[in-house]
Amino acid sequence: MSAPASDPVTDHVGDLLYGEVEDDLRASVREVLGDKAPWTSVLAGTERDAPYDAALWHAVAAQLGCAGLPVPEDLGGAGATWRETAVVMEELGRSAAPVPFLTSSVIATAALLAAGERDLLGRLAAGDAVAVLAVPFSTAPGDEVPGVEFADGTLTGAVAAVADGLAADVLLVPASGGLYAVDAADAHRTAVTSLDMTRRLTDVEFAGAPARRVADGPDAVRAALLIGAAMLASEQLGLAERCLDDTVAYVKTRYQFGRPVGSYQGLKHRLADLWASITQARAVARHAASCVAAGDGDAPVAVAVAQAHCSAVALKAAEECVQMHGGIGFTWEHPAHLFLKRAKADSIALGTADRHRAELAALVDLPPA
């Protein structure tokens, strides 16, 4: 059969399936989350002062060893890749788990890996410390991150809306063209009442905070945000699947007019469309994870596609979850709102879909008007 001439970069599609190791990893993480993060406890946590669930974090990051997955063994990690890390993200997304995995084990870890830093990296990989990149959570890969200046060994300035800022032991701060590590205790941090209280934001101010330079130039930050955006797509995938599963289960058991409401085409067809979008989300999220794991040159395109696609799918899934649960779905006592808030926040996090489409337009030579 004739096939068009192929382009080795853009046409290459790696393994988009899950391997046995990944299946096992998923099962372990799901078991821990089932035990320690049922939605009732996630919901209760949103009304407590603690910025995250420290016991759950210890179980996932240290006991299961998930925090060190993408870190090479000689740097204290598990020597796996971003593909396995993506599976953890899917599972955490399914639970809207209140742990700083994306911020510390993905974004900060990626920044330190790119910077060639070793000491802090080892502590993050072991789950002994939490570090977060001090940028607004809405920052897209490649965005300018102004606001903080480095002078005389200290940082001065402010950054708003830093995800998991209060969970952090160390803040990684882009400033004056480099990246600096600051002891979180040396920054002034203010908790933000957040749309998504399962991943809370913090406003951060530095007034002469002692800082240690860990990277020159913007590359480490850019790489970290790109990998973060790739992994976020897997979180969105997991969240969307959870919403679909819960909704399908509900419409099979909820009777109105003498029939399960899931027997009406008005709902069946929307759920079928949602399922089809989620199968697409899985393909694009796996592709993005596969590209960043391999350091593939096509990663920026794959990540922009994944974010542009998966943001909308997760949000749609959460919105349909609320709507198809009817009255109960609008209440505080049902988990749908946890997913709605996480999905909406995720759709803004690390760049909106629109921002990623704009990036994509430049990457694939489709310039704006």
Partner 1 sequence: MSTAPPDADELERRAGEFLAAHDPAVLDPLEFLRARFDAGLAWVHHPEGLGGLGAPRALQAAVDRRFAAAGAPSNHPERNGIGLGMAAPTILAFGTEEQKRRWLRPLWTGEDIWCQLFSEPGAGSDLAALATRAVRDGDSWTVNGQKVWTSMAHEARWAILVTRTDPDVPKHRGMTYFVCDMTAPGVEVRPLRQLTGEAEFNEVFLTDVRIPDAHRLGEVGQGWQVSTTTLMNERVAIGGTAAPRESGMIGVVAALWRDRPDLRTPGLHDALMRAWVEAEAARLTGARLRQQLTAGQPGPEGSGAKLAFAKLNQEISGLELELLGADGLRYDDWTMRRPTEVDFTRRSPGYRYLRAKGNSIEGGTSEILRNIIAERVLGLPGEIRVDKDVPWKDLPR
**Which residues lie near partner 1 (CB under 8 A)?**
1-7, 10-11, 13, 15-17, 244, 248, 251-252, 259-260, 262-263, 265, 267-269, 271-273, 275-276, 279-284, 286-287, 305, 308-309, 354, 357-358, 360-361, 364-369
The residue among 91 and 241 lying less far from partner 1, judged by its C-beta, is 241
Task: In angstroms, give the least distance from the CB of 24 to partner 1.
Answer: 20
CA distances from 139 to 28, 110, 136, 156, 168 (A): 32, 16, 6, 20, 18
- DSSP assignment of 144-210, as one string? ---SEEEETTEEEEEEEEEETGGG-SEEEEEETTEEEEEEGGGSEEEE---S-TTS-EEEEEEEEEE
- The CA distance from 152 to 264, in Å, is 68
The residue among 195 and 294 lying less far from partner 1, judged by its C-beta, is 294
The residue among 15 and 73 lying less far from partner 1, judged by its C-beta, is 15
The upper half-sphere exposure of residue 167, i.e. CA atoms within 13 Å in the direction of its Cβ, equals 33
Q: Which residues contact 48 (CB under 8 A, 6 or more apart)?
A: none
DSSP code for 6: P
The residue among 132 and 244 lying less far from partner 1, judged by its C-beta, is 244
- The CA distance from 66 to 80, in Å, is 10
Task: In angstroms, give the least distance from the CB of 59 to partner 1.
Answer: 32
The residue among 3 and 193 lying less far from partner 1, judged by its C-beta, is 3
- The CA distance from 112 to 124, in Å, is 10
Task: In angstroms, give the least distance from the CB of 287 to partner 1.
Answer: 5
Task: In angstroms, give the least distance from the CB of 360 to partner 1.
Answer: 6
- The CA distance from 133 to 111, in Å, is 8
Task: In angstroms, give the least distance from the CB of 82 to partner 1.
Answer: 17
The residue among 118 and 259 lying less far from partner 1, judged by its C-beta, is 259
Task: In angstroms, give the least distance from the CB of 163 to partner 1.
Answer: 25
- The CA distance from 236 to 246, in Å, is 15
